[in-house]
A = this chain, B = another copy of it.
Amino acid sequence: MEPNPLIRKLRGVTDLTEDECKAVRELCVDVREVEAKRDIITEGDTPDRVHLVLDGWAARYKMVPDGGRQITAFLIPGDFCDIHITILGAMDHSIAALTRCRIGYIRGEDIDRVTREKSNLTRALWWTTLVDEAVLREWVVNNGRRDAYEAIAHVLCEMHVRMQAIGLVADEVFDLPLTQEELADAAGLTSVHTNRILQKLRGEGLIELSKRVLTIRDVEGLREAGGFHAEYLHVARREGSGVERD
């Protein structure tokens, strides 16, 4: 399997030439490990490098005055932390590693150069940011108009498809290295209530979740429960594809 998760992701929507793959591979001028629970970028920072998640899970988040935390995105391998950083000034939110992460560092100029020289790649990178935005819209719906049961189910369905897109799902089983509190901070709930909802989903035979591994026992049922429709993720139809691909 292609080792670069960004390439795996982009291949889901466009064919990349060997030349383009090479360009992507050479983007990361540096790779570092970040410990779980450490900030990768903190609100107010003006990083000079673009960060790419190569391995592990991270989360965008914002704090509110009373100490509450809202996670606004889960970042998995192949996701950019801040591809926009050359345009906007300071970060308006923070990004924390949820697990130990391998992070690739990319020079802003290199992104600019690629987007000048490779129009197909440029479109693909654009696509990633537009999907990020679509996901964000869905999270607004999640927190605004879905109850706890639907919201949790929906998040699980979303991560299922996204993990599938980078080849990290086999037989509807994949790593979900989140604590219930982190899930709660994403769904706008308390960890206590999240716990009860997960028990309900388990009790209904929709999922199994333990030791940071999620098994979806009933994909259709879970989607039904969350009112999930994958269109907003704009992935090419590749149902059934997964780690067994190569």
Contacts and interface: CB of A to CB of B under 8 A. Distances in A.
A136 interface: yes
B130 A84 contact: yes
A65 to B, nearest CB: 5
Contacts of A42: none
Contacts of A84: 126, 130, 133
Interface string A20-39: 00000000000000000000
A30 B213 CA distance: 53
Contact of A145 (B64, B123, B126): B64
B127 A72 contact: no
What is the oligomeric copy number? 2
A146 B66 CA distance: 9
B140 A92 contact: no
A205 interface: no
A141 interface: yes
A62 B141 contact: yes
Interface string A56-71: 0000101011001110
Contact of A141 (B64, B145, B150, B187): B64
A130 B64 contact: no
A123 B87 contact: yes
A65 B127 contact: no
A73 B133 CA distance: 12
B143 A188 contact: yes
Given A65-B227, A70-B140, A227-B65, A92 B145 contact: no
Interface string A186-203: 011000000000000000
17 contacts: A62-B138, A64-B141, A64-B146, A64-B150, A68-B145, A69-B145, A70-B140, A72-B137, A87-B127, A88-B131, A88-B134, A92-B231, A92-B232, A129-B133, A133-B136, A140-B143, A143-B144
Interface of A: 60, 62, 64-65, 68-70, 72-73, 84, 87-90, 92-93, 123, 126-127, 129-134, 136-141, 143-146, 150, 187-188, 227, 231-232, 234
